[in-house]
Structure 1
Amino acid sequence: MRVVILCGGESSERDVSLASGRSVAGALLDRGHEVVLVDPAAAVPVLAGPLRPGDAIDGFAVGKEPPSPAARQQLRRRMHAALTGGPVLELLREAELVFLALHGGWGEDGHVQALLEMAGVRFTGAGSAACAAAWHKGRAQAVLGATGVPVAERVLWGPTANGVPEAVRRLLTAGPVVVKPVADGSSVSVHYVDSLPQLTQLAAEMRSGEVELMVEPFLSGREFTVAVVGDQVLPVVEIELTTSVFDYTSKYQPGAVSEVCPAPVPDAFAARLQELALRAHHALGFGGDAYSRTDFRCDASGEPRCIEVNALPGLTATSLLPRAATGADWSYPELIQRLMDLSTR
């Protein structure tokens, strides 16, 4: 097939997406497809291609820090222009399939999916409605809790609130909390907080950019993730941390964290996590033509709580979905082919 891979983009996960795009390109070439690699936010959007089987593609190293807010504004302007007219849009329309290797921001919150739907372009992954439902963690947690998926208590803290809300103070009085943007990915700006002065200073810095925050109790137990591809649930992955939270640096710097698949847990516990992941997948509107990855963290008693559902999880060499695929005896090229095949149903 003639496949255009969209990667890069304007989000805080730009580097991760560029690495995913190159990994996906290598896999598609390995499977015999023709590939064009496109970053719609770049000054020169076509990064490589047309590439044909036998051609080489360079890798990409994920940086230790995401792009700055100022850089993201310029990237966003370019991306909007590229996806709403001109040669990039025509390239997407001419492709037999667009493979979305975008993560975060417009690539995962439903914006890009909606534009492609309106343009009549076939693409991989969930549609705009499911992506939007999963992207806002506060609303997603409310939906999941209502459908029987266990979630942590949470408080949303809007940018216009004066002072620390009483509900946030109450959570902090009970123990350490985790503070994060209610809509962002790759654990960007996720912080462990155990004192009111620390919380006040951190919140002032984060909310200066009109960011809505979500505050949850810190869950001190083990962390797991479960991927669903179509209607198939993959083996459970355990994330063994050396830090309090699985942050951006831990996720994308080799050796910063250990990921074990299949997770060393009793069969009944693994089956429970898999059932909850499939329930979360369906509750947020992901169907048999989509894939997702659901993250869990356990409390002090060992009870799991869903912390988020990812609509376009990372596809780098160190990402969790490829790790789960390995646990299912899928090669990386086979995983990428399966993600493509979902969109042709």
Structure 2
Amino acid sequence: MFTPTNRPHRRLLASAAAVFAAGALVVGCTSNEPEEEANAGGDGGEGGNAEPAGGNNEPGEEVTIGFSGPEADHGWLAAVTDSAVAEAESFEDVTLQVAEGTNDANLQISQIETFINQEVDAIVVLPSDGAQLTEVATRAMDAGIPVVNVDREFSSPDASRTTILGDNYGMGVTAGTYACQLIEENDIQDPVIAEIAGIDSLPLTQDRTQGFNDALDKCGQTVDNRVAAEFTVESGEAAASNLLQAAPQIDIIWNHDDDQGVGVKQAFDNAGRDEFFFIGGAGSANAMRWIKNGEMEATVLYPPTQAADGIRLARLLAQDKGMSDLVQEDVPRRIVLDAPLVTAENVDQYMHLGFES
């Protein structure tokens, strides 16, 4: 993440200045007005796509970005919003209007409509339901407001200028590939492999499971025991308890989500079971601490910084800038982030990304 140096103090503006229609309240507005005037004579990093390396971080035209996301009822989702706010605060030329988090698609539609009416310069949205928000996002695009779609895709490519996604299938591949590595390195004969999934009806869960199965297939292995939870601590404990009762011996367990992993780990502790290699998913602070303490083998990162990346790209789009690190400098239409493996060897490198469950 970009860390500003020698930048003036930023402050969080009060939210009372903006109230959404239909009760959709703006609960935070981040403004980054400098305490002192910028040095005269600099070009401020403006001027299209011919930016030298690093020039995009220089202050440019002041822009207002609207951000709307789901209710932060999950540690990962809370981290998403926090990272978006922090990224906006790192730029003195960005004012961020943060809508109240909601899982009500109709309320989120109203929030986007308000951003359109306010004529913000760009919108970053993590939809509660990508299909239901496609139409209003398309209206924003038609109004000339670039939309950055985060994590849950719209139904039409016309609904956003760019889309930033975590790699759910890649998470499964990373976890499965590591499971194969553990089997080989520890010479495990006829391994018993278990999987604790998230909500089975969600495409993201299906993608993670498919990636896991495909990776295991490459080393001739399959999942022997599978249960599904609901991304909550309580459901994780219940699902893991059922799994342990059904399987008296397990060699490897992959749990899709580190938030539900708090309950999963509690079930392990309650049963006094630790004979298996425990692999997690998402990259919570709890998981990283367990890895450091030797209570967990690894976790697979699902970056909570997606919305922060969205803020950064929305700023570039609103200022008509490109990506100076690319030969083709225009902001890409689609970005899929990596799903790296976090182990004891590299956990310190990723610890700053760990979110509290």
Query: TM-score normalised to the size of structure 2?
Result: 0.27
Larger Rg belongs to: 2
Query: TM-score normalised to the size of structure 1?
Result: 0.27
